[in-house]
Structure 1
Amino acid sequence: MDILLSRRAAGDVEQMDHPDCDPRLLDNTYRQFGIINRVLSGWRRLYTRELRNLKRPDRGPLTVLDIGCGGGDLAVMLARWAARDGMTVQITGIDPDPRAAGFARRRPPVPGVEFRQAHSGELVREGAAFDVVISNHMLHHLGSEELRQLLADSEILASRKALHNDLVRSPTAFALFSVAALPFLHSFIRQDGLTSIRRSYRPAELAAAAPPGWSVERSSAFHQVLTYRRG
């Protein structure tokens, strides 16, 4: 590995992406994502900045699509924040992986949240539309054609904005996460998290990979948001 992380390790594969990975470790990973995302992903800041003040002209629920929702913790977290703020939301979490979708559907029901095993392209073909499309720590998993298709689908599905939150590759992020993830035992959190950082983009790389109309916005020292805004 290049210790300076000067190049993306695009060919590396995370353990949880292997179809034959240990199901117990995978379930533990989905479970521990709730802590990781609450503490490290920066979504509280994104929610406050990008979602909390959005209003629909018809006063209906704000509709959000979480693509690649994994174990579903982000959708639940956003719904609970919105409820405390008096917002009405309808969040749909989708993931094409049956293991992730199954874990998410086994969660205790939360008002305003539903999960499906589906690909974003299926929702496009259904003619679905949402106020906001989001994803978390997913872009680095995708090949170039998969990224292109995700962004094309997002432009169709999002009536107001799309926010794809992902890691920024850096030696500092790698070193800090290597230590911070030590307590997360019996899961793929630490190993896959370090692989994720190696696979992630730097801002200029992500901007170059995105089509016109998309912009890269830094949300924290170690996160960036690939953003599409209508109007």
Structure 2
Amino acid sequence: MPDLTIRASDAEIMDDFDLPSSQIEPVLAGLGKVNALLGGHKSLIKALKNFPIHTGYSISDWGCGGGDTLIAIAKWAGKNNLQLNLTGIDVAPAAINFARKESANFTNINYLQADVITGTKHISPCDIVISSLFTHHFDDERWVTLVKNMQASARRGIIITDLHRHWLLYYAIVAITHVFTRNKMARNDGPLSVKRAFKKAELVALLKNAGIDNYNLTWHWPFRWALIIYKS
């Protein structure tokens, strides 16, 4: 049994921003499929409706990875006659290159390579900042900095979805990654992501440290937190 009493601090292989495309693209493609299959895209779009979203709004995805979340939003917006300006931000050049290829058919999706902790001067303000399965990559101190940066950038609010640290999810991911893939990064980073994830009390404490009290935090299957932060 792994120690899940506190968040792990071990770096994931994916945290190496200089990884070549040949290593990162298969993992990003797999993550996109998992997000779609397990309802990650649907839960984020459901959260977007809480604002609500109007034509002309700009949405920025921090830690966009392969761009799968923005593509899902673009498809949903198209079906609902919403014209949205979508931007994906990631510090890894291989991720940005892959996302651009995946989003080639969507003229309203753009990408920017930038560091969301130290490079926010390069990031334009937007209506809503979103982030999917990304914030667990940061230790507590940098998590607070990240969310404060999101607050400064977003005019209307923030949506964060991330993992719930739980033994059942941990062993499920261990089993899935060992049955369905031989990819070293997936087998290492999948279970480690759970060890770096959050319990509710930790998220509440982090939000307090960030000076944020206008939010809604809910649990969703399979073992995910949905955090909506409102600016007003």
TM-score of the two chains, using structure 1 as the length reference: 0.86
- Residue 47 of structure 2 contacts residue 228 of structure 2 at CA under 8 Å; is this kept in 1? no
Displacement of 1:24 = 2.2
2:172 matched residue in structure 1: 176
Q: Distance in 2 between matches of 1:63 and 1:22?
A: 30
Q: Distance in 2 between matches of 1:118 and 1:25?
A: 21
Structure 1, unmatched stretches of 5+, are none
Corresponding residue SS for 1:75:
helix
The two structures, once aligned, show a CA RMSD in angstroms of 2.4
Displacement of 1:130 = 1.4
Q: Distance in 2 between matches of 1:9 and 1:52?
A: 32
- Residue 44 of structure 2 contacts residue 161 of structure 2 at CA under 8 Å; is this kept in 1? no
Q: Which moved more, 1:123-132 or 1:102-111?
A: 123-132
Q: Work out which of the residue numbers 127, 148, 151 in structure 2 matches 1:152.
A: 148
Q: Does 2:222 align with 1:226?
A: no
2:14 matched residue in structure 1: 16
2:26 matched residue in structure 1: 28
Displacement of 1:42 = 2.4
Displacement of 1:183 = 1.2
Alignment of 1:21-100 (within 5 A): 21=19, 23-40=21-38, 42-51=40-49, 54-56=52-54, 60-100=55-95
Task: Name the aligned partner's letter for residue 106 of structure 1.
Answer: K
Q: Distance in 1 between matches of 2:123 and 2:100?
A: 23
Q: Which moved more, 1:71-80 or 1:216-225?
A: 216-225
Corresponding residue SS for 2:159:
strand
- Percent of aligned pairs sharing the same letter: 26
- Residue 17 of structure 2 contacts residue 91 of structure 2 at CA under 8 Å; is this kept in 1? no
Q: Work out which of the residue numbers 175, 196, 200 in structure 2 matches 1:199.
A: 196
Task: Name the aligned partner's letter for residue 51 of structure 1.
Answer: K
Corresponding residue SS for 1:5:
coil
Task: Name the aligned partner's letter for residue 229 of structure 1.
Answer: Y
2:134 matched residue in structure 1: 138
TM-score of the two chains, using structure 2 as the length reference: 0.86
Q: How many residues align?
A: 226
1:163 matched residue in structure 2: 159
Q: Distance in 2 between matches of 1:129 and 1:123?
A: 13
Corresponding residue SS for 2:114:
coil
Question: Relative to 1, partners in 2 of residues 1:169 and 1:41: Cα closer, same or farther, differing over 3 Å?
Answer: farther
Q: Distance in 2 between matches of 1:102 and 1:115?
A: 9
Question: Relative to 1, partners in 2 of residues 1:109 and 1:185: Cα closer, same or farther, differing over 3 Å?
Answer: farther
- Residue 38 of structure 2 contacts residue 222 of structure 2 at CA under 8 Å; is this kept in 1? no
